[in-house]
Amino acid sequence: MTTAYDAWIGREEERTQRILAPAVQAMAATLDLKDAPAAGEPLPPGWQWLFFNPAAPRRELGVDGHPKRGGFLPPIELPRRMWAGSRLRYLSDLPVDAEATRRSRIVKVENKVGKRGSLWFVTVEHTTTCEGRACIVEEQDIVYREATPPGAAPAPAPQRHDGEAQWGRAFEPDTTLLFRYSALTFNGHRIHYDQSYARDEEGYPDLVVHGPLTATLLQQLAVEQGGGKRLARFEFRGVSPLFVSRAFRLEGQAMADGTLALWARGPDGELAMSATAAFG
């Protein structure tokens, strides 16, 4: 079906940036890790999201803190947008302090109608290279949705997740963690640091934990359970939001084919994020 945004399919942009050691050290401190990878060592999975982020001037930001519509991404006018999930292939190590390039290409734009109105899905392929070799290929899904009208009935409560975990741990996000992660990723989305905006404008009960932060924690868990193997593929999908100061669990189990099934389980037992990991 032809859409108003078909002209954006195939659009590309490219960013080159050094994988700065101070940013890597700050990420390790944010996650309360004892050691940070040194220059020349591989960047941990998920930490590439600290880099290649747009730095729009303040005058070019929307009311939600994101860059205004248009530019590389299509100018979809729906007011709410979120990172819904990704499919990642880790092909080669991305060394700390190396110069890398990320080429982004819009591969799909499609409209769907959900229970709460119109939805637009934009899929962007990001290919990160270093010294002429491809290191990471990611397909990222961005969803745009309508605002929840005042007085609308709340969304149904998410169902409890019945997955049987073989291992896992609790994690409690605080406001400092969310602030630091927003700063490290240059993410101005106000749902992560502006409580009144998150509550009064977007209808959340409190500050929202970043989806890629949860996905990074699940990748860290996968690496810990991988027995020294290198993470080769990771896929995640956000299901329901997690909120500040409410502890959640990072859990998983080994599958018969050698992959790992992973998930984040919210404080009421609900599935917040599902993921799979494979090694190579």
| Interatomic CA distance for residues 250 and 232, integer angstroms | 20
Residues 132-174: tens digit of each pLDDT? 999 999 999 999 988 865 555 556 667 788 878 999 999 999 9
The answer to whether 256 touches 237, Cβ cutoff 8 Å, is no
Average pLDDT over all residues of the chain: 93
Residues 52-91: tens digit of each pLDDT? 999 999 999 989 998 887 788 999 988 888 999 999 999 9
pTM: 0.94
Q: What is the maximum span of the chain, computed from C-alpha positions, in angstroms? A: 54
Kindly tell me if the per-residue pLDDT of 1 is higher than 70.
no
Residues 223-269: tens digit of each pLDDT? 999 988 999 999 999 999 999 999 999 999 999 999 999 999 999 99
Domains delineated in the chain: 6-279 (3.10.129.10)
